[in-house]
Amino acid sequence: MLRACPREKEVNELVVRGQWPQAASADVHEHVRRCRACADLVLVAMALQSAHAEALVAVRPASAGALWWRAQIRRRRAAVERIERPLVGAQIFALAVSLLAALGFVGFEARHGVAWLDWLEGLPQAATTQMVDFSSSGWMWLLLAAGAMLALVAGLLVYLTVDKPKA
Amino acid sequence: MNWEFALPEAPACEAHAGAHAAPHMDSEAFAGFYERSARPLWAYLARVSGDAALAEDLMQESYVRFLCAAMAPSLPRDGEVAARLYLFRIGSNLLRDHWRRPKATSIDEVSEEFFAASNAARQVESRAVLTPAMLQMKPRERELLWLAHAEGYSHREIAQVMGLAAASIRLLLFRARRKMAKLLRAQDAQTGRAE
């Protein structure tokens, strides 16, 4: 059962100031002898203060300078990450726009250049029977150039988005 | 891409650093603060965890996080007590994270010999760092008792460090103290019988 003692604060102050038991009056001594809460307080606080004094002597802290520089490096890294975050976002956006443009181009060609699909279907046959006459259709060159450009842009995007190892 | 050339002065670590971008302490002020607070912080972490090496690691990490934290109290503005409380709070959170963290290796993969050896070594080390009575207390009880009686913090300050409601500290501390007093008396009785 919790029974707070009204003199607990007084006893605690004596222990914290290191005045227990020498500077405590006979009245306080008598109280601590009879009050279980205060007796517990004195017993535990004295044990912990002695452990505290031992622990303070035992430790040899690392250099403050080393920790200061570790914090500086971590701050720097965090700042670089904050700056790079929108750049990665922009790269992803550019890739998405390029893919959409490529899909749009293919869709447009599929709808408006049906002859192009016919030519693709006939390509295996043409390859075996005769040389394809590219010069006969001007749009064919345009198509090839667009394909090459698309491959070039895709390669460039992949190069930009992939993380390069830092030196 | 390397942007470090564009960063003459590094701002604070956290993403929400905006308002407090400047460091809250220069290196000289930090050295003084470290000199005054490192030993008590190590003692707290070691006595609560029962592991001196872990206490050393967590102490260093606490200071690095303290320096990086955007909202950390500034010594001239908020005073040393506020800075210390903040530091102890970081240490307490790191301890709790350490206890919560799942171990990387499955227990089935560890040989019995290794487990026995590691347990024995840990027990020996814990006995060296913790008194037998402290060893039998729960970590939260050790935290409470240490902050109250070794560091001399008030209930409000303990609540701040441990992230608990100030009203609950009194009861928790009372129970922990009673438990430890019982253990200390039993220990004394045992020693007396042995002698």
Task: Count how many domains chain B has.
Answer: 2
- Residues B24, B79, single domain; the answer is yes
Q: Measure in Å the smallest separation between the Cα of B112 and chain A Cα atoms.
A: 33
Tell me: ipTM over 0.85: no
Final residue of a structural domain among B78, B100, B122? B100
pTM: 0.67
Residues B86 and B164 in one domain: no
Distance, in angstroms, between A104 CA and closest chain B CA?
31
| Tokens at A101, concatenated | 């443009």
| Centroid of chain to Cα B171 | 22
- Position B27 in a domain: yes
The answer to whether residues B86 and B143 belong to one domain is no
B127 falls within a domain: no
The Cα of A16 is separated from the nearest Cα of chain B by a number of Å equal to: 7
In a domain, B54, yes or no: yes
Nearest CB to B30: which of A56, A68, A80?
A68
B141 lies in the same domain as B189? yes
Give the model's confidence band at B32: pLDDT under 50 very low, under 70 low, under 90 confident, else very high: very high
pLDDT at A1: 53
> Are A44 and B145 within 8 A, CB to CB?
yes
In a domain, B187, yes or no: yes
Q: Indicate the residue among B80, B100, B120 that finishes a domain.
A: B100
Q: For position B83, what pLDDT does the model report? A: 92
Nearest-CA distance B24 → chain A (Å) = 12
d(CA A89, CA B46): 44
Cα separation of B109 and B87, whole Å? 37
**Residue B109 falls inside a structural domain:** no
Instruction: Return phi, psi of residue A83, to 5°.
Output: -75, -35
Contacting residues for B79 by C-beta, under 8 A, at least 6 apart: B73
**Residue segments in chain A with a per-residue pLDDT below the cut of 70:** 1-3, 110-121, 124-139, 161-167
Cα B136 from Cα B106, distance rounded (Å): 27
Q: Is the minimum CB–CB distance between A71 and chain B shorter than 8 Å?
A: yes
Q: Are residues B95 and B159 in the same domain?
A: no
Give me the residue from A48, A49, A75 closest to B10, CB to CB.
Answer: A75
How far apart CA B71 and CA A164 sit, in angstroms, is 34
Q: Residue B94's domain is classified under what CATH number?
A: 1.10.1740.10
pLDDT band at B153 (very low <50, low <70, confident <90, very high): very high
Question: Hey, is the C-beta of A49 within 8 angstroms of any chain B C-beta?
Answer: yes
* Residue B105: inside a domain: no
In angstroms, the CA B191 to CA B70 distance is 51
| Cβ distance of A79 and B10 shorter than 8 Å | yes
- Dump pLDDT digits (tens) for B156-174: 999 999 999 999 999 999 9
Same domain? For B137 and B194 the reply is yes
Count how many Cα atoms sit within 13 Å of the Cα of residue A92 in the half-sphere of its side chain. 6
Q: Does the beta-carbon distance from A59 to B42 stay under 8 Å?
A: yes
Q: Does B58 touch chain A (CB under 8 A)?
A: no
In a domain, B63, yes or no: yes
* B164/A contact by beta carbon, under 8 A: no
Domain containing residue B152: CATH number: 1.10.10.10
Cα atoms in the 13 Å half-sphere on the side-chain side of B146: 31
The residue behind tokens 């035992």 is A58
| Cα–Cα distance for residue pair B55/B44, rounded to 1 Å | 8
Same domain, B137 and B75: no
Read off the pLDDT of residues A96-106 as tens digits, 9 standing for 90 and up. Answer: 888 888 888 87
Q: How far is CA B4 from the centre of its chain?
A: 34
Residues B144 and B89 in one domain: no
Q: Across the interface, do B13 and A74 touch by the CB < 8 Å criterion?
A: yes
How far does Cα A67 stand from its chain's mean position?
Answer: 22
Same domain (yes/no): B86, B151:
no
Range of the domain at B60: 12-100
Task: Evaluate whether residue B2 is within a structural domain.
Answer: no
Q: Which of B82, B100, B118 is the last residue of a domain?
A: B100
